[in-house]
C-alpha cells in the first residue's frame, strides 16, 4: 500500500516535481517558443525581402528596357507591351501586367484579362509617387496571398502613362516558412522531451529516497519510535536521513525511559493506595466516626479510588506501548455488560446531581467476542470523561444498538463540547487541550487502543444541540 501511494505520488505533478516543472520545463518551453518565433520571423523576413528585392529588380530593369518605347506613339507603345507580355519567359511563376493610368489592364502575361481590374494600392501609389511601390496581402479577386510590385512608366514629356506590374503568389514561400516553423517546433519538442527525460531521472533520485524518508518520518510521528531509514546517498538527502534516524533513536530511548519510570512509579503507588482504600472502607463501615470525620474519610476514599484509576490507566498505557497488553476474548452479552456499568455508575452520579439516562430499546443484540473487563474499563473511562468535561450539563445519555453487523455504543453529555481544532487531538496520549479538568490525559488514548484491539472504532464529535457525543463501534463477529 505504501509503495502504491509513493508510486502515485511520483506520477502526479505535485510538490517538488511541480516546482521543477514550472521552474525548468515551463521556462525552457517559453524560451524555446520565443526562439521558434524569432527563427520563423527571421526566415519570413529573409524570404519576403529576397522576393521583394528580386521583384523590384525585375520591375526596374523592365521599366528601363521599355524606356526606348516610351518615345513612340501610344499605339506603338501599347502594342509593344502586349507583345512583350505574350513572350514573357517566366510567366509560370510571375505574372507581368501593363496597366494604364485609369486602372484598366492593357496586357498580361497570362493572356486576355477578363476579370475586374486590380485594385491594390501599389498601382495608384506608383502613379502618385512616380516610384516603385510594393503590396503584400490578399488578392481581393481570388483570396490568394500575393506580392505585387508596381513601377511607373513615364513618357518622354514626363507624364505617367501607365504602370508595369509584377505579381506572384506567396503560397510556396509561406509553405516554406511554415515548414521552417514546424521543424523548429519539432526540434523544440525533442529538446524539451530530452530535458524532461534526463531531468526526470535526476528528480527521481531525489523524490524516491525523499518519499521513503517521508514515510518513515510519518511512522515515527505515529509512534513507531526507533524506525530507521536505509539510505545509500552521501549528500544532503543522506544527511537528512541520518538526522531523522538519530532523532528516532533518541525519541525511542526517551520513550523507554519514560515508560520504565511510569511503570515503576505506578507499581510503587499501588501498594499505599490499596492500603488507603482498604482502611478508608473499614472506617466507613464502622460506627465510631462522627459526621464530619465520616465525610472526610469518604473524600479520602473517593480520591484514593480516583488515584487508583489513574495508576491503572498508566499501567495499561505502558503495557500498550510495550505491546504487552493482551485480550482475554470470550463470547459476551455486551448489552448486559454495558447496562451493569451504566446502572452502577448512575447511582454514583445521582449523588452528585447528575442524571445518567439509559436509552432503552427492545432490539436483540447478539453476543460478541470481546474482553468484557477491558470493555467495561472503556465504558467507565468514557463516562468519567463525560462527567469531568460535561458534568455541568447535569445529564448524560447512554445507549447501545445493533446495526450493520456492529454493536454501537453511544455516550453523550450536555456540556460545552470540544473545540473544533481539538477534536482530532483529544485521543492522543497526554493531550488535555483547553480543558481545566483534572486527569493524566491518557484514559481516552488507552480506551481508543483497547477498542482498536477489538477491531472497532472510537470517535468523538460535538452533538448538534451541544455537548460531546462518543461513539464506540464494535464488530459483532471477528
55 found inside a domain? no
- Indicate the Cα dihedral angle 20, 24, 26, 28, nearest 10°: -160
Confidence of residue 438 (pLDDT cuts 50, 70, 90): low
pLDDT of 91-112, one tens digit each? 888 989 888 888 888 888 887 7
Q: Which three cell numbers stand for residue 236?
A: 544532503
How large is the average pLDDT for residues 278-302?
81
CA 85/CA 123 separation, integer angstroms: 18
The verdict on 17 and 152 lying in the same domain is no
397 to 88, 224, 347, 410, 470: CA distances (angstroms):
108, 37, 14, 8, 10
Domain boundary residue, one of 153, 169, 185 = 169
437 pLDDT more than 90: no
The verdict on 79 and 118 lying in the same domain is yes
Number of domains within the chain: 4
Helix (H, G, I), strand (E, B) or coil at 56: helix
pLDDT of 62-72, one tens digit each? 888 877 666 66
The verdict on 307 and 438 lying in the same domain is no
pLDDT of residue 135: 93
pLDDT of residue 9: 45
pLDDT of residue 435: 65
48 found inside a domain? no
Domain boundary residue, one of 297, 322, 347 = 322
How large is the average pLDDT for residues 144-153?
91
Q: CB-based contacts of 442: which residues, under 8 Å, 6+ apart?
A: 313, 314, 317, 429, 430
182 to 176, 186, 187, 353, 374: CA distances (angstroms):
10, 6, 8, 86, 75
- Strand blocks (E) in 159-311: 160-169
pLDDT of 385-413, one tens digit each? 888 877 788 899 999 999 989 999 999 99
pLDDT of residue 3: 43
The verdict on 182 and 163 lying in the same domain is no
51 found inside a domain? no
Task: Report the number of secondary-structure helices (H) and strands (E) in the chain.
Answer: 11, 12
pLDDT of 242-256, one tens digit each? 887 788 778 777 777
CA 162/CA 134 separation, integer angstroms: 16
DSSP 61-109: HHHHHTTTGGGS-HHHHHHHHHHHHHT-TTTTT-EEEEEETTS-EEEET
Q: Residue 381 belongs to a domain with what CATH number? A: 3.30.565.10
Helix (H, G, I), strand (E, B) or coil at 478: coil
User: If you search the block for the grid coordinates 538526522, which residue do you land on?
Assistant: 243
CA 120/CA 45 separation, integer angstroms: 22
Using alpha carbons, select from 413, 444, 409, 407 the residue that is nearest to residue 429: 444
The verdict on 339 and 454 lying in the same domain is yes
9 found inside a domain? yes
Using alpha carbons, select from 88, 110, 107, 90 the residue that is nearest to residue 99: 107
How large is the average pLDDT for residues 151-168?
86
Q: Residue 258 belongs to a domain with what CATH number? A: 1.10.287.130
Contact 130, 164 (CB under 8 A): no
59 found inside a domain? no
50 found inside a domain? no
The verdict on 347 and 456 lying in the same domain is yes
The verdict on 258 and 405 lying in the same domain is no
The verdict on 101 and 180 lying in the same domain is no
How large is the average pLDDT for residues 14-27?
71
pLDDT of 333-369, one tens digit each? 999 999 999 998 888 788 788 899 999 888 899 999 9
The more confidently predicted of residues 38 and 1 is 38
The verdict on 364 and 456 lying in the same domain is yes
pLDDT of 203-252, one tens digit each? 777 666 777 777 777 777 766 666 777 776 677 777 777 887 788 778 77
Q: Residue 102 belongs to a domain with what CATH number? A: 3.30.450.20
The verdict on 165 and 185 lying in the same domain is no
CA 465/CA 20 separation, integer angstroms: 49
Q: Which residue range forms the structural domain that includes residue 344? A: 330-475
pLDDT of residue 459: 92
pLDDT of residue 11: 42
Contact 313, 441 (CB under 8 A): no
Confidence of residue 474 (pLDDT cuts 50, 70, 90): very high
Contact 56, 149 (CB under 8 A): yes
Confidence of residue 199 (pLDDT cuts 50, 70, 90): confident
Task: Determine if residue 422 is left, alpha or beta; phi over 0 gives left, psi from -120 to 50 gives alpha, anything else beta.
Answer: alpha
Confidence of residue 4 (pLDDT cuts 50, 70, 90): very low
DSSP 370-385: E-HHHHHHHHHHHHHH
Task: Determine if residue 307 is left, alpha or beta; phi over 0 gives left, psi from -120 to 50 gives alpha, anything else beta.
Answer: alpha
Buried b (16+ CB within 10 A) or exposed e, 305-336: eebbbbbbbbbbbbbbbeeebeeeeeebebbe
As a whole number, the mean pLDDT across the chain is 81
The more confidently predicted of residues 149 and 161 is 149
The verdict on 211 and 153 lying in the same domain is no
260 pLDDT more than 60: yes
User: If you search the block for the grid coordinates 528585392, which residue do you land on?
Assistant: 53
pLDDT of 119-146, one tens digit each? 889 999 999 999 999 999 988 777 889 9
Using alpha carbons, select from 179, 154, 167 the residue that is nearest to residue 55: 167
Using alpha carbons, select from 414, 418, 431 the residue that is nearest to residue 466: 414
53 found inside a domain? no
pLDDT of residue 129: 92
Q: Which three cell numbers stand for residue 75?
A: 499605339
The verdict on 140 and 123 lying in the same domain is yes
49 found inside a domain? no
CA 474/CA 365 separation, integer angstroms: 12
Amino acid at each position: 500500500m505504501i509503495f502504491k501511494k509513493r508510486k502515485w505520488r511520483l506520477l502526479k505533478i505535485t510538490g517538488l516535481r511541480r516546482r521543477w516543472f514550472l521552474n525548468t520545463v515551463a521556462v525552457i518551453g517559453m524560451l524555446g517558443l520565443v526562439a521558434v518565433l524569432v527563427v520563423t520571423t527571421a526566415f519570413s523576413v529573409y524570404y519576403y525581402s529576397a522576393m521583394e528585392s528580386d521583384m523590384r529588380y525585375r520591375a526596374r530593369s523592365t521599366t528601363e528596357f521599355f524606356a526606348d518605347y516610351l518615345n513612340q506613339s501610344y499605339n506603338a507603345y501599347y502594342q509593344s507591351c502586349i507583345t512583350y507580355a505574350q513572350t514573357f519567359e517566366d510567366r509560370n511563376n510571375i505574372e507581368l501586367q501593363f496597366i494604364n493610368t485609369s486602372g484598366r489592364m492593357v496586357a498580361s502575361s497570362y493572356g486576355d484579362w477578363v476579370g475586374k481590374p486590380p485594385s491594390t494600392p501599389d498601382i495608384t501609389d506608383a502613379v502618385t509617387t512616380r516610384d516603385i511601390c510594393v503590396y503584400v496581402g490578399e488578392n481581393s479577386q481570388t483570396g490568394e496571398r500575393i506580392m505585387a510590385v508596381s513601377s511607373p512608366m513615364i513618357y518622354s514629356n514626363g507624364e505617367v502613362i501607365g504602370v508595369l506590374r509584377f505579381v506572384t503568389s506567396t503560397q510556396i514561400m509561406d509553405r516554406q516558412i511554415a515548414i521552417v516553423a514546424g521543424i523548429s517546433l519539432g526540434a523544440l519538442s525533442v529538446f524539451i522531451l530530452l530535458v524532461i527525460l534526463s531531468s526526470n531521472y535526476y528528480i527521481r533520485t531525489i523524490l524516491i529516497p525523499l518519499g521513503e524518508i517521508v514515510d518513515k518520518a510519518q511512522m515515527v510521528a505515529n509512534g513507531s519510535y526507533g524506525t530507521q531509514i536505509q539510505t545509500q546517498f552521501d549528500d544532503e538527502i543522506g544527511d537528512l536521513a541520518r538526522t531523522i534516524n538519530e532523532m528516532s533513536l533518541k525519541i525511542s530511548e526517551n520513550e523507554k525511559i519514560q515508560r520504565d519510570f511510569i511503570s515503576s512509579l505506578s507499581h510503587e503507588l499501588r501498594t499505599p493506595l490499596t492500603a488507603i482504600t482498604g482502611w478508608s472502607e473499614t472506617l466507613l463501615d464502622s460506627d465510631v466516626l462522627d459526621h464530619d470525620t465520616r465525610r472526610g474519610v469518604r473524600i479520602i476514599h473517593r480520591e484514593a479510588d480516583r488515584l487508583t484509576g489513574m495508576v491503572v490507566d498508566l499501567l495499561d498505557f505502558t503495557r500498550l506501548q510495550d505491546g504487552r497488553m493482551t485480550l482475554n476474548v470470550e463470547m459476551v452479552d455486551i448489552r448486559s455488560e454495558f447496562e451493569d456499568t451504566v446502572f452502577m455508575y448512575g447511582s454514583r452520579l445521582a449523588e452528585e446531581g447528575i442524571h445518567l439516562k439509559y436509552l432503552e430499546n427492545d432490539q436483540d443484540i447478539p453476543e460478541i467476542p470481546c474482553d468484557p473487563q477491558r470493555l467495561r474499563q472503556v465504558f467507565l473511562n468514557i463516562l468519567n470523561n463525560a462527567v469531568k468535561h460535561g458534568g455541568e450539563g447535569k445529564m448524560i445519555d447512554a445507549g447501545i444498538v445493533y446495526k450493520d453487523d456492529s454493536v454501537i455504543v453511544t455516550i453523550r453529555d450536555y456540556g460545552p463540547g470540544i473545540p473544533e481544532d481539538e477534536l482530532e487531538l483529544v485521543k492522543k496520549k497526554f493531550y488535555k487541550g483547553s480543558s481545566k479538568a483534572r486527569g493524566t490525559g491518557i484514559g481516552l488514548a488507552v480506551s481508543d487502543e483497547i477498542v482498536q484491539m477489538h477491531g472497532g472504532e472510537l470517535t468523538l464529535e460535538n452533538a448538534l444541540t451541544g455537548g460531546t457525543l462518543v461513539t464506540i463501534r464494535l464488530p459483532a463477529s471477528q
